[in-house]
Chains A and B, each alone.
Chain A
């Protein structure tokens, strides 16, 4: 294990750790906000599906020498729209359609990258490499995260209504399709940003764990959202520290911390409901 004073040289702090912190906190925030809606709408799979599509697109973009982020974000937004439509209309059922669509995109990407012999570059995005992010990447993620955050806040009440009861929202004249699309687009942006840090394999759990943990503990939508954000950001910080100390992958460490917090919250919820029943 490394000791903290060994790692935390001033140079490391300013050049590597600070940008990682900024980008990490920003993306953790967005992921947890959207995660609450995804979990409650029973479409956690969309996050996973989008990360597959995102990874596939990244592979193709890198193989062709294009700017990875700038190509991937619009493609994943389009995929979010298609996945939503598929899950609304498909005879196969939403999750099957998502699985077919996203694994096909993934396969296409891997096919392209193996053809171009890119396995090492591309594996960064499989497992994430937050400490290797460039300054440009960090600014890009921070700006997009702020956009996601502001949009979410602006439409918070409507997102609640659409998440809680789609048919009532539709009946009272809310444009449910638009808000579903909005949620999907925000998810798409978050997934791509998160892929750089956490990796395609782990980003969907970054969205889902804080939401589920918060749902165990809270009874109001607003406190669920706020708790999810708090859990997500603190798990990120603890996970990052853990990975520095033990020299392990950041993404995996963050998710494991999330898992531990989830386990503790389940335990608390279990004890609470037991004692509640006894009363």
Chain B
């Protein structure tokens, strides 16, 4: 049985139905990217996957030994976290809370696990630093280490690249690949970055207002939805005929910017 099985899922945001008849599965070892326009129900789907919201219709079930609280979640960063006085160690350790039930304090095993994840993500040297003083990329690593404390099975990332510069973003993709390939952790990522999604993921779930797609990356490239979405993105970047976005900067036919 798959880790996550969704059948005929309907998603509503307040009174508005944003998705109907959504079906997909996440198998152990998958790397699934969820893409789609704004307002297509990506965030609502994440809430359903985490059990923060129940499905409005259809079924969503977990299997293959995955429990609800074993999903390592990397949320979008909130404004509150950015100003919060907490050390990296404190933040990472808080990922261990799901495993120790009513035990009031962190056990030795918890602390060891937090240390292990910090070492894995190369942030051990930051352990005593203040979370709010770190760079965006470092903060993302800290949150990733926390998520890994909470799971050994499945990571769910909600637009982890928002606000990161391209260099840091590609670093994060590298870390994710490492976690996925070398540690066998299943990755589910909601993203806007469709180019890198098709580069790194094994399968794609595209949720759109009119049409949706679920399948392998190769099939997505061939599908009408995928071609349109990928094509549109490429056109936006490499269009020679259309109006330049900054008309005062002349753009030559090779697409390089002349000063």
| Chain A interfacial positions (CB closer than 8 Å to B) | 40-42, 154-158, 160-161, 163-165, 167-174, 215, 218-222, 224
Contacts and interface: CB of A to CB of B under 8 A. Distances in A.
A10 B44 CA distance: 67
Interface stretch (B19-27, B67-75, B176-184, B240-248): B67-75
A172 B52 CA distance: 10
B97 A172 contact: yes
A52 B73 CA distance: 39
Given A219-B85, A219-B130, A221-B85, A164 B52 contact: no
Interface string B80-92: 1100111100110
28 contacts: A156-B104, A157-B105, A160-B86, A164-B91, A165-B78, A165-B81, A165-B94, A167-B73, A168-B73, A168-B95, A168-B147, A170-B50, A171-B51, A171-B69, A171-B71, A171-B73, A172-B95, A172-B98, A172-B150, A173-B69, A173-B98, A174-B97, A218-B85, A219-B87, A219-B130, A221-B84, A221-B86, A224-B85
A260 B39 CA distance: 49
A154 to B, nearest CB: 5
Contacts, number: 84
B70 to A, nearest CB: 8
B97 A169 contact: yes
A17 to B, nearest CB: 35
Nearest to B49: A171
A174 B102 CA distance: 10
A219 B133 contact: yes
A157 B86 CA distance: 12
Contacts of B105: 156-157
A219 B133 CA distance: 9
Contacts of A161: 94, 97
B146 interface: yes
B148 to A, nearest CB: 12
A172 B95 CA distance: 8
Nearest to B100: A157
A167 B106 contact: no
Give 6 closest A-B pairs by Cβ, nearest first: A173-B69, A219-B130, A172-B98, A171-B73, A220-B87, A161-B94
Interface in B121-146: 128-130, 133, 146
Given A163-B84, A172-B150, 9 more contacts: A156-B104, A157-B94, A167-B73, A168-B95, A172-B69, A172-B98, A219-B85, A221-B86, A221-B87
Nearest to A225: B85
A160 B106 CA distance: 12
A118 B52 CA distance: 50
B98 to A, nearest CB: 4
Nearest to A154: B104
Interface in B143-162: 146-147, 150, 156
A110 to B, nearest CB: 35
Nearest to B52: A170
B58 to A, nearest CB: 21
A164 B98 contact: no
Nearest to A221: B86
Given A40-B84, A219-B85, A164 B94 contact: yes
Nearest to B80: A42
A157 B67 CA distance: 22
Contact of B81 (A154, A156, A164, A221): A164
A10 to B, nearest CB: 44
Given A171-B73, A220-B130, A157 B52 contact: no
A171 B147 CA distance: 10
Contacts of A170: 50, 52
Contacts of A165: 75, 78, 81, 94
Nearest to B76: A167
Contacts of B91: 164
A171 B50 contact: yes
A163 B90 CA distance: 12
A173 B151 CA distance: 12
A222 to B, nearest CB: 7
Contacts of A155: 104
A119 to B, nearest CB: 42
Interface centre among B51, B80, B81 (most CB of A within 10 A): B80
Contacts of B73: 167-168, 171-172
Contacts of B106: 157
B244 to A, nearest CB: 38
A133 to B, nearest CB: 33
Contacts of A224: 85
B118 to A, nearest CB: 15
A163 B81 CA distance: 9
